Structure 1
């Protein structure tokens, strides 16, 4: 079957099915009233519900199915009780099962969510937008997440201290839970009213049932919770946690003769302290001294031929916690006023050296200290203040006779402040953000860096008609200052490109010492009730907008309009558990009025009752212009493009499971193409062990791949070529879980990318409709390869004299990274890590095939090894 026929079939299924919309009836909020335990009556947390302390309250149950068939009786029922004392909140669960031997007790690391489980969601702020989630698997593995944006964001980086035990008996399985009040946030009212929800996963049917019914077309998750009452005179717990750590590290690598910085091994020991102080029960102060911000997982390998920076996820614990409060994603994509990986970044400078000198540049800037004040008050204020100071970083330079240092990153201070206020019965909010980056630039050593950068923003959201409709928006402004050199560099960066030769609205001003820009987003739409959703979005980024000192901005000078229409089924239909479909279109312009892109896409994903899933997307780009591909040259046109994407996945519950996908992109007149194959296989022979392999292969071909800019006399020349790039990668993961608190994990990924160029050409008419009219290919009389210099000599006018030369752009990049991590949480909140990281990076021969590069650059090369032991102890007061 052709791919383009699949989507109409899925849409047809939508319209053959019932198109009714559930009535907008108001659901009765369930209420559970808990009671206080007297001193010395606390239950023992052993998973067996036999203590008399549980008898002071009643069971509540009557769970209702939420997935796949909403508002029907679940296969198995669940019930729970809640009691409390002055320090803890206790839950007891009975998860009934007619076949206790069939209960799936898969082990995983924390937040693995494997097998049968039951979950508690608590909205202790009672703000209808945020909550704390605690998940208990039948095997005793804990999961915990901070919920924000009314259930649209679940942050698994939140790791509170709490206690759980489970047990299987003749009626099913049971769980007992103890949650310290110090791990929750709430006000000091005499009687608390909290939002409460509980979800159970019945693994064999892949079924979710909930205590408080939530309709499939509800406007969110947290806003639909039931209520927990009876919490009287509980005192806000002023949390105090201190977590010292010590790290020992040994690094081994291939010795480099003559290089004093590469003698074969390095060893170091480091220590520091993290602290968490509850100034009130709502607001927490996080401190770190000499932090260890090492990452257990390595960033994935990637090559950006377009020159743009690559966005990587934050994994460092200090920055991850409460990151939802500091988030300010102001337009679309990953653009954000706060991108925490700027703090502690790799040094931006590099010293000038002479022949015979060796250089040692630090991998990252040293974070001297950081403090973060954050939380949410009972009055609806979300507040975040972060400050961090990074040290001067010096490169060491040694010629085996003399040693010197050169500054490569200056002392830098970062400040981020964020606030939001809920009102209108939690249906609306307004907020703001301010960031500041100040570098201590002395002398001319790093004068090309910006001295200071400031950003500010205002955001809002309003929901009405029971959150059926919404209007949201934000406005941002930036101001950067620096030397004439620094601001001239900023104007010419790929993000801005003021030097574009055909731009009528921007130009490089070499005398400027500051830039000021704006951006923002407005969005209006229908977000709940019935099968249909629709959204309209308008965004802009002015040419001078600059966020990349402590934020992330890919490209400025952009105005965009987006329209989205989506459909979802509310009940299983025929062979389908669920079907979703979506139509999206957007157009983009620059501030010169150029219409740069028109794009349409239509997509659908379907989940079958067999728990298989399929996804298809068709995208058409009838108009594509880019201001950036020639990196300062004129606006360039790409040919009309069509993209087909198809993915499928087998039942994720099976011990042996697969998923696979293909992306096929084709430019008109065969001007470019992109094909990506991905697949994955996961095998779990026993509950404690899982192994997975995810290989991928891409083929990228383009007859107009930018190479470089040069000049012919006084006339600029923009050189392009026909590229054939092949990339092969394969991530390998193995997880062995001895028990919920002791795990062994392995991750490895070889990555090989090879690019070969031919048919070099120069741009002649960059906006011609036919790609062949945009370029002029050099013939054999005009271009010759100089093997001795590994470059191409070009005699453009064919008069026998070389007019200019360009380096050979062929490349072969090879990388292998792996991590073996043993993690032991020996007491709640305190851990020991044993880590072995291995990696190698090399430049292969572009004329070799991918597997030969794998053999010579990975298997045949001595890797670098890092052996690390990290121990933490978490004091909780």
Structure 2
């Protein structure tokens, strides 16, 4: 063949490759026509749009494969002074098979989805993502390369309609739900995603290469938006709640009212404030029998502290449950006194937060909260006189975050948390400096931090915590290496949570993964973790771990995970003895686990995980099994049950102090947790939800030991106190919710709960159930109404 033929072919290949890799551009068209969000796309303005997003490319599992003609997808964008409008025509040659489970907001379920990701500054740093399911359920989040914050909820409109050729989505996203520069011409980062659930496939408009460890930087662009005048971002959310509560001894009626305010300070920043907060319908905490040397870490479920808090989570030194949590002190009592009333929490007076990101990539977050003075009641057992003592003074909490992002994928951050208590009570301050640097191609990453804590109390002390990490973040073979150091005095527990101090560790992770499906697997990953932890003072090994795992998804969308937990060296536990400088010698151990999740697209699905850990100590072994059947009866009704059961034979743990001795026990433990979740969606705005949990655990001590100075245990036949524990906990929430207008909700909740504990071990399940239901059960019925008011709507009416 002539030379010119090869030159032509080479040019075509290179040109195609360049076209395939370059960023796509879509042009929005202005409109003055009123666009009805009804899923019909009938307005004339849609017919005038010539710039159409099409030719979607598979994101997963077979990355890079073009979408088939029978799944053709076409997206258009209009805009006016209030919002952008998106229409998506999603063809499907089998429309009767489109998955469309109705779920609660921000719950994906078994549904097809369409989404738009918008970066108003086009800086590759943060996306505003809006999802619509084929059942017309909304999901939205703030996304960085590290996190997707689905607690963030915007006010926007959407409608999805199933047709005879597939389905249609219409969306209206007000500018108030976005952040962008105040320039006359807007250039936004933009990508669309389509998920076809039955085929377990996701497609994006602009190709996202999974070999690169970054998604946001691989978006296309949206141009054409000009001379818009965004409205004032000012929203009021008043609420009124009423509660009726009763138990075996008392009953109470409560009426509450308050206000949330959201104000757009400028194009970049939003102020959120709560006046007279009400968290009465917040999800219950999962109470457990905690025999560990550390407090139980609780999930944050209060909306103000979960919504849009991704900035405040940088550095991992902020634990919002400290605000309004347990008092920081316990009263001093004389020999003839006892505490008759001690509050388990402190009332929150108000809270405010400001957050956003400038056009130049500087994220700023500020949160401030104030809690009220709290007293305990103390009674003299002889005279029956009572007195009150402050257990938590008026307290101010604040968090400041500065996060400068640059080069689309790197950042330097400063975080400061401060707790100031009125009077002579303990104050605390923690500062953190962090950096996260990635190469332009997102192939390598260097990140680290330095944290410094200062405590002002009876004895002042300072501490540091630091880490340095390097990782290869792209390709089939990836690795990371880390080093960490924490001083003995580091303490961020006034507005954070930290259990382990006075150690340094070395960690590495080596992994292999497939980037495209094989004949057997859609995804496959083999990972090896190595971890060594040493005590700073003595140099003794606290942990030596090798953990290989395999995680894979089959072609039929079944997921499985297999792992080993190998600790080949004797180590030392410096926390279980509860005394500074003392330690417990730990035996070698080996554990394994296998987990399987069957295809969650099926109406009936099932997951199961089993685990066994064997210790190099006579008779000491742990067994665990968790089983989770889920049945989706139709697109509206589903039930999900999880039964988690653990046995610990000849477990070793702290029991008590006797004079200067530290007493340990050899014990058998059983832990049973049952969680039932039910959902009946009346429609996409109205649902009934059920959450029930029963937890039972006991600790049955067979022998007592004294901890020696060398970390070993010697038999103690003289200690004879009953230190056994038997604990039952029951919770049930049954609720009705109705989103009767954008951002506005009516919620009715029935809740009952009880806890029962005893030093007498009861190993019969039916007796434990009877005991907890015969205990003092608390019943609560509450009704709450929240109404979203847009200042612009009021202004236009008046």
- With the shorter chain as reference, the TM-score category is over 0.9
Indicate the residue corresponding to 2:794 in structure 1: none
User: Would you say the 8 A contact 2:217–2:408 is kept in 1?
Assistant: no
Q: Equivalents in 2 of 1:534, 1:245: separation in Å? A: 50
Indicate the residue corresponding to 1:327 in structure 2: 313
Indicate the residue corresponding to 1:98 in structure 2: 93
- Secondary structure of 2:103's match? coil
The answer as to 2:382 corresponding to 1:468 is no
Aligned-CA RMSD value: 2.1
Give, in angstroms, the shift of residue 358 of structure 1. Answer: 7.8
User: Would you say the 8 A contact 1:566–1:583 is kept in 2?
Assistant: yes
The answer as to 2:439 corresponding to 1:433 is no
User: Would you say the 8 A contact 1:671–1:704 is kept in 2?
Assistant: no
Give, in angstroms, the shift of residue 74 of structure 1. Answer: 3.0
User: Would you say the 8 A contact 1:344–1:367 is kept in 2?
Assistant: yes
Q: Equivalents in 1 of 2:354, 2:291: separation in Å? A: 40
Indicate the residue corresponding to 1:837 in structure 2: 751
- Secondary structure of 1:323's match? coil
Q: Equivalents in 1 of 2:552, 2:312: separation in Å? A: 35
Give, in angstroms, the shift of residue 397 of structure 1. Answer: 5.9
- Secondary structure of 1:223's match? helix
User: Would you say the 8 A contact 1:237–1:281 is kept in 2?
Assistant: no
Indicate the residue corresponding to 1:531 in structure 2: 476
Indicate the residue corresponding to 2:428 in structure 1: 453
Structure 2 residue runs without a partner (length 5+): 1-16, 792-798
Indicate the residue corresponding to 1:801 in structure 2: none
Q: Equivalents in 1 of 2:467, 2:20: separation in Å? A: 32
User: Would you say the 8 A contact 1:294–1:316 is kept in 2?
Assistant: no
Give, in angstroms, the shift of residue 354 of structure 1. Answer: 8.8
CA deviation digits over 1:461-520, x for unaligned, max 9? 21114111111111110110112xxxxxxxxxxxxxxxxxxxxxxxxxxxxx20001111
The answer as to 2:649 corresponding to 1:701 is yes
Give, in angstroms, the shift of residue 848 of structure 1. Answer: 2.1
Q: Equivalents in 1 of 2:388, 2:150: separation in Å? A: 42
Indicate the residue corresponding to 2:795 in structure 1: none
Indicate the residue corresponding to 2:13 in structure 1: none
CA gap 1:26/1:164 in 2 versus in 1, 3 angstroms: closer
The answer as to 2:317 corresponding to 1:337 is yes
Matches within 5 A, 1:723-762: 723-762=667-706
CA gap 1:832/1:397 in 2 versus in 1, 3 angstroms: farther
Indicate the residue corresponding to 1:487 in structure 2: none
TM-score under structure 1 normalisation? 0.84
The answer as to 2:489 corresponding to 1:544 is yes
User: Would you say the 8 A contact 1:814–1:853 is kept in 2?
Assistant: no
Q: Paired residue for 2:714, among 766, 771, 776?
A: 776
Indicate the residue corresponding to 2:105 in structure 1: 110
Q: Equivalents in 1 of 2:518, 2:710: separation in Å? A: 51
Give, in angstroms, the shift of residue 719 of structure 1. Answer: 2.0
Q: Equivalents in 2 of 1:229, 1:35: separation in Å? A: 9
Indicate the residue corresponding to 1:206 in structure 2: 200
Q: Paired residue for 1:223, among 217, 221, 246?
A: 217
Give, in angstroms, the shift of residue 577 of structure 1. Answer: 0.8
The answer as to 2:35 corresponding to 1:43 is yes
Q: Paired residue for 1:377, among 351, 358, 361?
A: 358
User: Would you say the 8 A contact 1:815–1:858 is kept in 2?
Assistant: yes
- Secondary structure of 2:96's match? helix
Q: Paired residue for 1:147, among 139, 143, 166?
A: 143
User: Would you say the 8 A contact 1:814–1:844 is kept in 2?
Assistant: no
Indicate the residue corresponding to 1:563 in structure 2: 508
Give, in angstroms, the shift of residue 527 of structure 1. Answer: 0.8
- Secondary structure of 2:516's match? coil
Indicate the residue corresponding to 2:607 in structure 1: 659
Q: Equivalents in 1 of 2:19, 2:72: separation in Å? A: 25
Q: Equivalents in 1 of 2:402, 2:337: separation in Å? A: 53
Q: Equivalents in 1 of 2:22, 2:663: separation in Å? A: 68
- Secondary structure of 1:204's match? helix
Q: Equivalents in 1 of 2:117, 2:334: separation in Å? A: 59
The answer as to 2:282 corresponding to 1:296 is yes
Answer with 358-367 or 205-214: which moved more. Answer: 358-367
The answer as to 2:734 corresponding to 1:820 is yes
Indicate the residue corresponding to 1:54 in structure 2: 46
Give, in angstroms, the shift of residue 132 of structure 1. Answer: 0.9
Indicate the residue corresponding to 2:266 in structure 1: 280
Q: Equivalents in 2 of 1:236, 1:468: separation in Å? A: 38
Answer with 153-162 or 342-351: which moved more. Answer: 342-351
Answer with 231-240 or 598-607: which moved more. Answer: 231-240
- Secondary structure of 1:327's match? helix
CA deviation digits over 1:675-700, x for unaligned, max 9? 21101011111110111110111111
User: Would you say the 8 A contact 1:65–1:207 is kept in 2?
Assistant: yes
User: Would you say the 8 A contact 1:455–1:547 is kept in 2?
Assistant: yes
Q: Equivalents in 2 of 1:407, 1:91: separation in Å? A: 57
Q: Equivalents in 2 of 1:353, 1:290: separation in Å? A: 37
CA deviation digits over 1:210-235, x for unaligned, max 9? 11111121221111111111111223
- Secondary structure of 2:328's match? coil
Q: Paired residue for 2:164, among 160, 170, 195?
A: 170
Answer with 351-360 or 602-611: which moved more. Answer: 351-360
Give, in angstroms, the shift of residue 717 of structure 1. Answer: 2.4
CA deviation digits over 1:301-342, x for unaligned, max 9? 22332221222221212121221111133xxxxxx3211111
User: Would you say the 8 A contact 2:125–2:405 is kept in 1?
Assistant: no
The answer as to 2:468 corresponding to 1:481 is no
Q: Equivalents in 2 of 1:847, 1:366: separation in Å? A: 36
- Secondary structure of 2:771's match? helix
TM-score under structure 2 normalisation? 0.92
Structure 1 residue runs without a partner (length 5+): 1-22, 256-263, 330-335, 443-448, 484-512, 768-773, 784-793, 795-804
- Secondary structure of 1:686's match? coil
CA gap 1:652/1:808 in 2 versus in 1, 3 angstroms: same
The answer as to 2:516 corresponding to 1:602 is no
Q: Equivalents in 2 of 1:720, 1:460: separation in Å? A: 43
- Secondary structure of 1:857's match? helix
Q: Equivalents in 2 of 1:696, 1:320: separation in Å? A: 27
Q: Paired residue for 1:233, among 227, 232, 250?
A: 227
Q: Equivalents in 1 of 2:279, 2:463: separation in Å? A: 33
Q: Equivalents in 1 of 2:582, 2:338: separation in Å? A: 41
CA gap 1:685/1:703 in 2 versus in 1, 3 angstroms: closer
Give, in angstroms, the shift of residue 236 of structure 1. Answer: 4.2
CA gap 1:764/1:409 in 2 versus in 1, 3 angstroms: closer
- Secondary structure of 1:167's match? strand
User: Would you say the 8 A contact 1:236–1:280 is kept in 2?
Assistant: no
Q: Equivalents in 1 of 2:336, 2:489: separation in Å? A: 40
Give, in angstroms, the shift of residue 845 of structure 1. Answer: 6.2
CA gap 1:608/1:184 in 2 versus in 1, 3 angstroms: same
